[in-house]
Structure 1
C-alpha cells in the first residue's frame, strides 16, 4: 500500500494545489474560495501552521442553522480547531482508518509543522480501487502462469 508521500506526489502531478485560508478571514471568503476551487474544506493556516480546518459542514451547522452572517464572522469562530493530521510516512490504510473512526472527509498532511497537502476521502477511495485492480491483475497473471 502506498504512503501518503507517494499519494501526494501523484496528486501534484495532476496539479492539485492546496488552498488555505487564515483564521481572521471572513466565512464568506472561505465559502467563495471553496466554491471557486470546487473543494469541500480548507485548512486554516496561521504563520504556515495548520490551526484548524473549515468545511461546508462547519458552515451548515455553525452558521446557517444558527442564522449567523457569513460577512461579519471570522473563520476562527466556526473552524474545527482539533485537527487530525497525518505525516508523509504514514500509509493509506492508516489514513482510511483515521477517517472512518473520526468520520472525517479531509486529512491535512503535515511534516515538521508545515502543511504539505490535503487528502480527501475521494483520494483514498480512488487509491484503494487502483490497488485492488493492481492486485487482481497480478493474481490473473499468476493464474495464467505469466
Structure 2
C-alpha cells in the first residue's frame, strides 16, 4: 500500500478574512456591575439571584474602580459572626479589590487564556480608555473554542 503525504495545508477562510479571535468578540457586554456605595447586603442579594460569583465596581461615569466577589462577601459574613450582625451594611468600597488587572478588548483570545492560567483569576474586566466595556471569564473562552476554525490555531 502506498501512502501519500501532502504536508500541511492551510484551510481557506471564508470571505478571505482572518477569523476574529480577540477578547471583544467573546466577552460579555451586558455586565452586572456594582457601585462603591452599594451595601454588601445588596451585592449578596444580586449574586445569589443572578447566580454569579462577582462583578466589576464602577463609578458614576462608568470607570472601573474595583471588583467585588463572593470571597469578599464571605469576609463580611465572617466578620458579622463576631459582631452578631445578621445584616451587612458595609459599603462595597470597604471590601472590594481595588488593584484590578484588566484586559483590552483587542487582546488575542489565546493571550487571554494564558493570563487566566498564570493569574488564576476567574474573570477579567475588559477596559478601553478607563471605561468598562465588558467582562471575560474562563467560561467565555471555553465556549469560544468550538467556534474557532482550525486555521486560526
* TM over 0.5, shorter chain: yes
What is aligned with 1:83? 100
Among 76, 79, 83, the alignment partner of 1:66 is 79
What is aligned with 1:50? 64
Question: 1:64 offset after TM fit, Å?
Answer: 2.7
What is aligned with 1:5? 24
Question: 1:92 offset after TM fit, Å?
Answer: 1.1
Larger Rg: 2
Q: Structure 1 CA distance, aligned partners of 2:119 and 2:80?
A: 27
Question: 1:130 offset after TM fit, Å?
Answer: 4.1
Post-superposition CA distance 1:62-103 (Å, at most 9, x none): 223333655321111111111111111101122122222221
> Per chain length, whose mean CA-contact separation is higher, i.e. which structure has more relative contact order (CA < 8 Å, sep 6+)?
2
Question: 1:21 offset after TM fit, Å?
Answer: 0.7
- TM-score, normalised relative to structure 1: 0.77
Q: Structure 1 CA distance, aligned partners of 2:21 and 2:46?
A: 30
Question: 1:40 offset after TM fit, Å?
Answer: 1.2
What is aligned with 2:133? 116
Q: Structure 2: which 5+ residue stretches go unaligned?
A: 1-19
DSSP 3-state at the match of 1:5: helix
Among 111, 130, 133, the alignment partner of 1:94 is 111
Among 8, 32, 52, the alignment partner of 1:19 is 32
CA contact (8 A) 2:116 2:122 kept: yes
Q: Structure 2 CA distance, aligned partners of 1:38 and 1:72?
A: 21
CA contact (8 A) 2:67 2:96 kept: yes
Q: Structure 1 CA distance, aligned partners of 2:118 and 2:73?
A: 22
Q: Structure 1: which 5+ residue stretches go unaligned?
A: 139-146
Question: 1:25 offset after TM fit, Å?
Answer: 0.9
1:31 maps onto 2:44 in alignment: yes
